Each structure stands twice: as C-alpha cells, then as structure tokens.
Amino acid sequence: MPPGGRTYPCLSRREVENLIAKGHKIVIFNQHVLKVDPWLPYHPGGEKALLHMVGKDATDEIQALHSTDAQEQMLRYRVGKIDGVWANFTPPIQGGFFRPLLNADNLDCKDPYVPKDLTSSASSSRSPSPVFDDEAERVRRRRLAKDHPPRTASISSQSSMEPDTTGMSYLDALTREEISLDIDRYPEVDLATQQEIAAKFRDLNRRIIDQGLYECSRTAYVYECCRYFGLFAAMFISLMYGQYALGAFCLGLAWHQLVFLAHDAGHLAITHDYQIDTLIGIFVADFIGGLSLGWWKRNHNVHHIVTNAPEHDPDIEHMPLFAVTHRLLESLRSSYYDRVMEYDAVAKALLKIQAWTYYPLLALGRFNLYRLSWDYIIARRGPRRGPGAWHWYLEICGQLFFWAWFGYGILYKMLPDGWTRFMFVMVSHVTSSPLHVQIVLSHFAMSTCDLGPQESFAQRMLRTTMDVECPPWLDFIHGGLQFQAIHHLFPRMPRHNLRKTQRLVVEFCQEVGIPYALYGFADANKAVIGRLAEVSRQAAILAKCQQTVARNGGVFGHHH
C-alpha cells in the first residue's frame, strides 16, 4: 500500500483522455497517472517541457532529466494508475485532439489499445495538411500487416493535385519522402517494437548505474579548474603588458571552456543536487559569462524532449537566419516562442546564402545569447514560486556583477581607447564561437521528422542526434559535446564518463537495430553545410513552383 495508506484508482485510457480534454495536464510515470497542473508554475525547467509530456508515458524522459529525489517528489501528484502498456497520445501543445468522456464509453481499466486512437489525437501543430494524417494511417497499416512493403514517396509522385498557390504540395511531398526514408531505416514505430526498445534501454540504464558511470570524477574537475584559472591569469598578464589581442583571446578560451562546466551543472551532473548544481551553474554562467542559466535550462529542457522537431525545438528555430528543414519554409508556428516563424522576404533572401553565412553568423552567436538572457530575466519567464524562484534574484546579481567586472573593470578601466575596446570585445567573443558550432553540429544534419507519439525516447534521441569522433586527448576541446547522442540518452551523466559509456551504447544500438550516427569533425561539418545547401535548393524550387502557379492562373501540376 502506498505511504499514508492511500490507494489510487485504476484509470482507463478513455478516463485519462477525458481528464486531458477538460484541460488537466496528465503525465504517465512508472504506471502512475500524475496530474501535474499544480506543478507547472514551480517547474524549474519551465512549463513547456511538461506540456510536451501530456498524455504520454514520460518515464524515460523523467528518469533521464531528473534526480531520484525529484522523481520521488513527483509521486505527490498521483491521481491514479494504469494497467498494462500505455499507448501515447499526441500532447495538446503538439496539436493532439482529446475527446470528452461519454456515458456510453467503456471504462474497463484494461481497455485494449485501439489503433484508431492514434489518428484521433495525432494531428500536427502546424496548419492542417494531409501529409501527417495520411502518413499515420500508412504506418498503422504497415504495423498491422507485416507483409505489406513500405511505399517510398517521391516528389514526382504528385500526378494529380488540387490547385495550390503556395507550393504546399511540393513541401508535403518532401515530408512524405523523408518520413518514408526514416521508417525504412529505423525500427518500426508500432507500440510493441518501441516498448521492447524502451525495456532494453532501461536495462542499459541500470547497467550504467551499476558501473558507477553517473558518479562524478572530482579529479577531472580539479584539472578543469586549473585550466580555467590559468586562462584568466593569462588574460590579466597579457593586459598588464599591453597585449590586448592576446588577452582577449585567452578570455574567449576561458568562456569557451566554462560553458562546459555550466552545461554539466545545468543538467545536475556534478553533485546531482538541484540547489548546489544550480548555484554552480549560475556562478559560472551569470557571474563569469554574462549568460542566464535560467534561460538556458528553460530552452534546453525542451530541446532534450522534442529534439529536432521544427515546430517545438528552439535549438533549430533560427528563422530567418537558418532553416535546417524544408518544413520551416511553411511559416510554422513555434510552440516554444508562441509566434509564427515567417518565411518572408527577409528569410527568402537569407536562406539562399545560408550555407555561406553559417559560420560568420555563428561567430556572433554570443551577442544573441546576451539578448535571450536579458529577455528571460526582464520578462521573468522562470518559476515565480517553488524551489527555483529565488534564482531569478541571484541571476540579476550575477548579471550586474558580470558587467561590472567585464564592462567597467576591463573594457573601461584597463583598455586605453574605443578601438581597443571594440577589438577586445570582438576577439574574445569570436574566440568563444566554436562552441556554437559544436552545439548545433550534432543536430542540424540529422532527422527532423515526426514518426508519431509511440516512438521511444531512446530511438528518437538516436535518430535526431549524431556523435562526433575525436581522439581522447582532444576531449577537453569538445567538452563532452562530441558525445551528444550519448548525452541525450543520459543527460545527468558527468561528461568525463561519456566516452566510457560509448561502448555500451553501441552494443545497445546493435541489439535493437538503431543506427548509431558517428562522424568525424570534418565530415560532420560537411553534412551540416550540405543540409543547409539542400534546404536552399528546395527553397529555390518552391519559388519556381509558386511562379509557375502564378503564370498558370493557380493551376499546380507536376514537380520534378
């Protein structure tokens, strides 16, 4: 019997759907039904991360991103339990539709999974399109009839279409093709297959715990701190001797390295204590780096849950500067930013040359991070109540401290003139910019398709993330970001143990039949540039289609 002697009713699928239809935020965790409505204002990772789990079995996501103590605290929100395997709904924030309960509905706790429930709540959050409904039905037929070979969509297969003045038919054909390729390459996304993958992933996680790979290496962080202090000392010595460019270079390297420490702290991978790791992260990010850890956590948690989803993942939503998928040419609405990412005249101009502007714009990425940090702090987008509420005040102190020591103490007091100050800012900020390449490298060239709500956490992470190969002696340069696929599977693992875990992940991938994407650094960059160039080409074809439609008076025909 649960603590306190309370028992929880067994809820059917329809009863859970009814609760969500009424507006409640229901999440499944270890066979428990959690109503997390009261926790939304308190969640340190932001409300959007929770909203993407509504109607889903979030066991793997919760265990990956939360400490054992946090997982135990979540059980306070139990309102019921489920019996058997849970088939995920599409969350409302992603466009899922939920039906209120009718008196005639079957409320048996052991309701069998009915495939039609998938299509009842699997709509997309973008404007209505036949692509995803048709694709969901095709996946369902493939699951129910194993001997039915998958069909391969192609752009030229659109032999007869209704008049289309926007080119959506062309973009939908591209989407069908990419989904089909993913379905052919990865294990099937039926419930039974994905549950088997999830079970083996949980076995892998238990092996990793037993081998102590979640334990932090204190010696490794001693070496890290020596590197940080050495770079700051080199900066001040350079400034004392008038070597301003060298000093700026050393500061940029220090910022580059410190971000890896803030990343570890943000994921609670150092001490695994929420408050201690958050304090470490705020000290590094805000006080030393001038960036908001709170903004990063709110953004990054969503990225880890809906990785590479064009409508939902803020880490690939860079319109009008970049588009890593043709779907961003549809002017999608971002569920994270709550605005439409317009494919307007500015975007059309910039996306033509995005393969050329990629590195120059990333070199200026730190300035954008200042903007996002201050937007988060001024708008107070973090929790206003609960254990993380007071961090907002600490972050304000951190920002003031940063601009006091960097803006006043170094730029104003230690540098002789305006040109030197400008040079110092640009050199230091551009020197730290390889970090931005490292951050996006593992995702920009990977899949952006949605294979449906039944896809397991492990398969989705491995399908949307690549690892970058490098020798062990270069690990400190990459800071763990070269093992992004492994990190996405185990976000709370200290980065010094990621290489040790690689062999276990490769064995897991071989066992379940999921391709493990591993690229060299140069090849990974080529893949990203190739993806950007391909989207530019698709944008050019879309423009030609639209011009043809305009000339033909709205008649849209074949596309090759």
Q: What is the mean pLDDT of the chain?
A: 87
- 423 domain-assigned: yes
Q: Is the pLDDT of residue 314 over 70?
A: yes
In a domain, 123, yes or no: no
- Among residues of the chain, what percentage have pLDDT more than 90? 76
- Judged by average pLDDT, the poorest of 150-154, 418-422, 487-491 is 150-154
124 lies in some domain: no
Split into its structural domains, the chain has a count of 2
What is residue 549's predicted lDDT score, i.e. its pLDDT? Answer: 75
The predicted structure's pLDDT at residue 164: 56
pLDDT at residue 160 is higher than 90: no
Region 548-558 average pLDDT: 62
Helix axes 191-210, 498-512, angle to 10 degrees: 150
Q: Is the dihedral of CA 145, 148, 153, 156 positive or negative?
A: negative
Q: Domain boundary residue among 68, 90, 112?
A: 90
pLDDT tier at 218, thresholds 50, 70, 90: confident
pTM of model > 0.85 = yes
State the Cα–Cα distance between residues 440 and 442, nearest whole angstrom. 6
Please check whether residue 516 is in contact with residue 485, taking contact to mean a CB–CB distance below 8 angstroms: yes
435-473, pLDDT tens digit by residue?
999 999 999 999 999 999 999 999 999 999 999 999 999
Q: Quote the pLDDT of residue 105.
A: 61
So what's the pLDDT on residue 547?
A: 80
pLDDT score at 391:
95
Among candidate residues 47, 70, 90, the one where a domain is terminated: 90
Model pLDDT for residues 328-381, shown as the tens digit of each residue? 999 999 999 999 999 999 999 999 999 999 999 999 999 999 999 999 999 999
Please give the torsion angle defined by the CA atoms of residues 367, 482, 459 and 515, in that order, rounded to the nearest 10 degrees: 130
446 found inside a domain: yes
Instruction: Look up the CATH number of the domain holding residue 22.
Output: 3.10.120.10
Q: Report pLDDT for 553.
A: 65
> What is the tens place of the pLDDT at every residue in 463-476?
999 999 999 999 99
Query: What is the total residue count of the chain?
Result: 560
**pLDDT value at 163 more than 60:** no
Q: Which domain holds residue 35?
A: 13-90
Residues 454 and 324 in one domain: yes
Last residue of a domain, one of 25, 57, 90: 90
Tell me, yes or no, whether 81 and 204 share the same domain. no
Residue 359 forms part of a structural domain: yes
With respect to residue 316, please indicate whether it lies within any of the assigned structural domains: yes
Helices (H), 292-364: 293-305, 345-351, 354-363
The average pLDDT across 234-261 equals: 96
* 392 found inside a domain: yes
- Per-residue pLDDT reduced to its tens digit, 91-148: 999 999 999 987 656 565 555 444 444 434 443 333 333 344 444 444 433 443 333 3
Residue 67 pLDDT: 87
Q: Higher confidence at residue 247 or residue 149?
A: 247
